[in-house]
Amino acid sequence: MQAYLDCNATTQPLPEVIDAMASCMRERWANPSSVHRAGVEARHAMELSREQVARLIGCAPRSVTFTSGGTEAAQRVILGAVAARTDRPAIATSALEHSAVRELAQSLESRGTTVHWLRHRPDGVIDLDALDALLAEHGASISVLSLMWANNETGVLQPIRDVAARCRASGVVMHTDAVQWVGREATEWSTLGIDALTCSAHKLHGPKGVGAIAMRAGAAIESILPGGPQELGRRAGTENVAGIVGFGMAAEAARTWLVNEAATAPCRSLIATLERALLAAIPDAIVNAAASPRLWNTSSIAFPGLEAEAILLLLSERGVAASAGAACSSGSLEPSPVLRAMGLPDPVAHGTIRLSVSRSTTAGEIDHATRVIPACIERLRLSSSASVRGSR
Ligand code: PLP
């Protein structure tokens, strides 16, 4: 039995996504900018996908720009807003962001840009009073505020609409990195009041290497790469038509799932069931940010005193795939910057693993994890106490 509980790292492409991509590569391989018939057919396939992605987000198809993924999408928005507002040389973001945003902000900061790091409460949610104070003092100099909707490590949700209203009042472009949100919860673009949202196909059972920006018409965000006129001049470069077609299929499947309460309800309880079972079986386990509003699919759970890497290796041997911190930092022994920024003590941060599910996760996988994880923790605790005794 295998349990794949690493859906925030990536999700398995749906069979219909794979089929659509394969047939696109066989039959719709022409350049979608070409005027001949084959080019027009490729363009049509791409435009159908744009409609499907737009429908999932709730925006107009014209608002959607395809990119090479969530990283490029977020960076295009942030750098594009900075380029559009040279009279506002500062940016604002949080230390809790995915590295795609956090490291861009750090890199801009190291080259002289003022970055206002938003204050958050210990539960990982942005402090709105501190944001009010920041915008009152510095709002006029900030071009863009970037705040993720759902955290990829803890699942903590940010009050995106409240932040957007404040940004609007200060003339600040608001971007949300919604990579972990889109496809797992409904996205009602018209109620958000934001300027730009970014997402990624591979988190919603689509292919890797394709993402999207939804952008408000008239938002102060420039195209940052000169080149061809693709994507209405917003993103130069020949489009990844097969990837986009796969994204469209995945978006349509996610939308259909999201409106079907009978299908969503059982998925929503999977992680809660697993957390309850683990807390009952392992008395000193801690669910990080347990009291915060969280996405239904993510659990950041700590086994203080153990090393996450050791836990993950043993879990993997016994058929449970999970991760520590961000997937991109696997191989590093440092606890993730997000857990550090949340102020978790070292023994808790070092012993934290992330369990994340998707709508394709089965109750059988959760049962398997419920049996395997406590056994692995017990074994690691026994071997670490034996090695402490041995070293005396
Ligand atoms: N933003 C968040 C919150 C993510 O979790 C990820 C990927 O893990 C990204 C951005 C980057 O997306 P991509 O892998 O499509 O570049």
Calculate how far, in angstroms, residue 197's C-alpha sits from the geometric centre of ligand 1. Answer: 13
Model confidence band, residue 391 (pLDDT cutoffs 50, 70, 90): low
Q: What is the predicted pLDDT for the residue at 108? A: 98
Spatial contact of 247 and 200, defined as CB atoms under 8 Å apart: no
Q: What is the predicted pLDDT for the residue at 333? A: 64
Phi-psi region of 120 (alpha: psi -120 to 50; beta: other; left: phi over 0): beta
Domains, the chain: 15-258 (3.40.640.10), 263-390 (3.90.1150.10)
Q: What percent of the chain has pLDDT over 90?
A: 93
Question: For residue range 95-109, what is the model confidence (pLDDT) as tens digits?
Answer: 999 999 999 999 999
- Give the CA distances from residue 20 to residues 38, 158, 242, 358, 359, in Å, rounded to whole numbers and listed in that order: 17, 35, 8, 21, 20
Does ligand 1 lie within 6 Å of residue 158's CB atom? no
Which residue shows structure tokens 């409240």?
Answer: 162
Task: Say whether pLDDT at 29 is over 60.
Answer: yes
Does ligand 1 lie within 6 Å of residue 178's CB atom? no
Calculate how far, in angstroms, residue 71's C-alpha sits from the geometric centre of ligand 1. Answer: 6
Q: What is the pTM of this model?
A: 0.96
Task: Identify the three-state secondary structure at position 232.
Answer: helix
Does ligand 1 lie within 6 Å of residue 354's CB atom? no
Q: What is the predicted pLDDT for the residue at 313? A: 97
Q: Which residue has the higher pLDDT, 375 or 336?
A: 375
Within 13 Å, how many C-alpha atoms sit on residue 92's CB side? 30
Q: What percent of the chain has pLDDT over 70?
A: 96
Task: Say whether pLDDT at 59 is over 60.
Answer: yes
Q: What is the predicted pLDDT for the residue at 253? A: 98
Q: What is the mean pLDDT of the chain?
A: 95
Q: Of ligand 1's atoms, which has the minimum distance to the CA of residue 97?
A: 3
Cα–Cα distance for residue pair 196/104, rounded to 1 Å: 17
Q: What is the predicted pLDDT for the residue at 113? A: 98
Cα–Cα distance for residue pair 134/196, rounded to 1 Å: 21
Calculate how far, in angstroms, residue 70's C-alpha sits from the geometric centre of ligand 1. Answer: 5
Other C-beta atoms closer than 10 Å to the C-beta of 233 total 12
Give Cα 230 distance to the centre of its chain.
26
CA angle 204, 317, 266 (to 5 degrees): 35
Q: Which residues are known catalytic residues?
A: 328
